[in-house]
Amino acid sequence: MRVLVTGGSGRLGRSVVTVLASRGHEVTSVDTAEHPWPEGITPAVCDLLDSGARAELFARAAPEAVVHLAGIAVPFARPDAETLRVNATLAWEVLSAAVGAGAHSAVAASSPTVYGYNTPSWKPRYLPLDEEHPVAPWHAYGLSKVMVEETVRALARTSDKCVLSAVRPGYVVSPEEWRGAVTQQGHTLSERLEDPALAAGSLFNYVDAHDAAELFALIVENPERVTGGTVYNAIAPDPLARGPVEADLARLHPATAEHAPALADGRAVFSSERARRDLGWRPERTWRDLLHQTEEA
């Protein structure tokens, strides 16, 4: 299958491109700058906000599936108005182009930040958080991801051939970060484990980049199993914590205290059951294995 991946050289994108290629797909990886790829992966440099360049890219790649990861990837990395404009516009233009190109599947990256956690007043209706839980973003990045999801739903309403969906990858951990590299928040995974306050900012969630990439692959490979407009959480089933998180969660996010006991059995704050049910996705890489292997090496 011909698969076009936007933002292919990013933290998650590198694993998505690699996983798709390893599964036998013809992958075109799109970025705004050159990135070295091994033989079998086609690199493309394109400003996806340029309508002419975007049209030429889609005509050349003729994708049967599109994975849209490009955009401003971190909250507060750019001015709020720019984050909203870039992420919302990219989603509309890229996903519309996928539909227009005759792709049978298009999936965009969203984010768990749409739930609106990490404010003193945030209170979940229930735990763990699944895709039916209401969203309540409080910053421009989270709002831009709600707009990405609404773009998916809007296009899905009129597309009879292209199945559109979105994935909310958790705190993505790349291979080098398992080996001790500093994460996007400026500290290591081991430091996040040692100081619960660091991991509490994202409600102790994480997902291995390879595991998340496999969900994107399953979606584009099995469009008949995906309902148009569906959103999937993609988060490891265990929290990034030494034990059950209910006590630390209630301490660091007091408004969650009513529902925190639901996690006393060691479950993560987020549920990815929908992805397991629809596509058989089972993330296998846990911090318990990957960090221990690094420490032993």
Look at residue 259 and tell me if it is in a domain.
Answer: no
Look at residue 129 and tell me if it is in a domain.
Answer: yes
Per the structure, the count of domains in the chain is 1
Nearest CA-CA partner of 97 in 52, 140, 44? 52
Mean pLDDT, rounded, for 225-230: 98
Residue type, 287: W
Mean pLDDT, rounded, for 136-150: 98
Mean pLDDT, rounded, for 178-206: 93
CATH number for the domain that contains residue 103:
3.40.50.720
E runs forming strands in 60-195: 65-68, 105-109, 163-169, 172-173
> Domain residues for 219?
2-174+208-237+268-284
Mean pLDDT, rounded, for 55-81: 97
Please report the pLDDT score of residue 292 as a whole number.
Answer: 64
Look at residue 39 and tell me if it is in a domain.
Answer: yes
Residue 66 to residue 142: CA distance in whole angstroms: 22
pTM beyond 0.95: the answer is: yes
Mean pLDDT, rounded, for 191-211: 96
Q: Tens digits of per-residue pLDDT, 82-135? A: 999 999 999 999 999 999 999 999 999 999 999 999 998 899 999 999 999 999
